[in-house]
Amino acid sequence: MASDHAVSGDDGQRKLGFWMCTALVVGNTIGIGIFLLPASLAPFGFNATIGWLVTVLGCVALANVFARLAREMPNADGPYGFIRATLGDIPAFIAMWCYWVSLWITNAAIATGVVGYLGAVFPSVATMQPALVALALLWTFVIINLFGVRTGGRVQVVTTALKLLPMLAVALLGGWLLLTAPATYTAHLPTAPVDLGHVVTASTIALFAMLGLESATVPASRVKDPGRTIPRATIVGTLLTAVVYLIVSTVPMMLIPQGELATANAPFALVMDRFAAAGSGRWLALFVVISGLGALNGWTLLVGELTRAMALNGVMPMPLARNNRRGAPAIALVVTGLLGSGMVLLSYSRSLVEGFTFITNVVTAANLPLYLCASLALAVLWRRGDKAGVRGMLPVAVLGTAYVIFAFVGLGHEPFQLGVVLAAAGLPLYLFMRVRRPAAVA
């Protein structure tokens, strides 16, 4: 019966465990961005390394923010529930609206970016219409997630395990060269002087590659024992991702001349071809595709769950909250798939690097309101003092807030203004839903 599946979110559907939630964090964070990031950061030299360290510390602070919120409010419906219960309706809506927009834009970018690498692995793909291939990829994962959140979770575990293989290959190559030919690490040392402004900018660029640390909290209503599972998965997933990134992003920077690295479309493939074996870069490109597809699957799952949660909370039309017989938010998945398809058609003609430069600005700007509101929500919980274990909340909230402000500064004026426009664009919908469903929104 349709009514049985419409908006159910009971414990019987909480089927995401620790490993699936950890895979969501790692899988969503490690997408295509890390495979392009060494080229983006190359002009900054050692400023990029310092920026990475700042980003890792900031993201660990933010991971602790989400972990504490999940522990203190295990029955809240993810980030929207955290923020609404502490800061109110409008901040919750603005934060989640911006985040929601960033998810389906990211899906479009990933699908578009994967096509380029797919053509490097399978030359026949290069002869096809790239927009059609990207759309086929996007809708493949919409269909997978229509079979239920657990199906999407299983796919995420497999793709996360596979996507770590190229990272391991680069790390092992770097370690082998350090032991057998240490001079390769000093032959092309970056020459850019250390500068605070460059550190801030590099750190903000690096943040794009770490977006996704909040992933385990979004499908909170589908998680087994969320008060215990989500905090553990968030911290473990963020730390694992940070360690992998620090290692593998340092290897290209130390081995490839700065000018050459800055213009490389596939930095990791360049390293493998030059220092491992000719043609090995093609095999690495295969795992880049797997990495991108894993991220596409994870973000598709999350944008469906987020749309459903916002509809249940009265800030989006109620039909978007309906589940199909497999417990998947079918209408939400289809609608966000259509929105992502529109972005694919608008952006497929961009080059890989240009497209990701644009996406870095848009998506990072759109994510920061969520991170800021989550940090402030934790501070409000501490101030209320109505939850057990408030000790340690304030330092975590302060560190999270400070890092978000730091990241806003690094973005510059244009992305900040873009973020304001994104936030304002959702207000008409909020006001419309407030009139239609005042009890839910108020």
State pLDDT tens for residues 275-298: 887 777 777 778 778 878 888 888
- 101 or 158: whose pLDDT is higher? 101
Domain ranges of the chain: 2-441
Query: What is the model's pLDDT at position 78?
Result: 77
Residue 113 has pLDDT above 80, yes or no: no
- 252 or 62: whose pLDDT is higher? 62
- 138 or 440: whose pLDDT is higher? 138
Which tokens is 198 given? 């460059």
Query: What is the model's pLDDT at position 219?
Result: 67
CATH code of domain 2-441: 1.20.1740.10
- 38 or 132: whose pLDDT is higher? 132
Report the 3 state secondary structure along the chain.
CHHHHCCCCCHHHCCECHHHHHHHHHHHHCCCHHHHHHHHHHHHCHHHHHHHHHHHHHHHHHHHHHHHHHHHCCCCCHHHHHHHHHHCHHHHHHHHHHHHHHHHHHHHHHHHHHHHHHHHHCHHHHHCCHHHHHHHHHHHHHHHHHCCHHHHHHHHHHHHHHHHHHHHHHHHHHHHHHHHCHHHHCCCCCCCCCCHHHHHHHHHHHHHHHCCCCHHHCCHHHECCHHHHHHHHHHHHHHHHHHHHHHHHHHHHHHCCHHHHHCCCCHHHHHHHHHCCCCHHHHHHHHHHHHHHHHHHHHHHHHHHHHHHHHHCCCCCHHHHCCCCCCCCHHHHHHHHHHHHHHHHHHCCCCHHHHHHHHHHHHHHHHHHHHHHHHHHHHHHHHHCCCCCCCCHHHHHHHHHHHHHHHHHHHCHHHHHHHHHHHHHHHHHHHHHHHHCHHHHC
Average pLDDT over residues 266-283: 79
- 137 or 356: whose pLDDT is higher? 137
Average pLDDT over residues 329-353: 81
Q: Give one word for 276, left, alpha or beta, with left for phi > 0 and alpha for psi -120 to 50.
A: alpha
Encode pLDDT of 396-434 as tens digits: 999 999 999 998 888 777 777 777 787 788 888 888 887
Query: What is the model's pLDDT at position 12?
Result: 45
Encode pLDDT of 358-373 as tens digits: 667 778 888 899 999 9
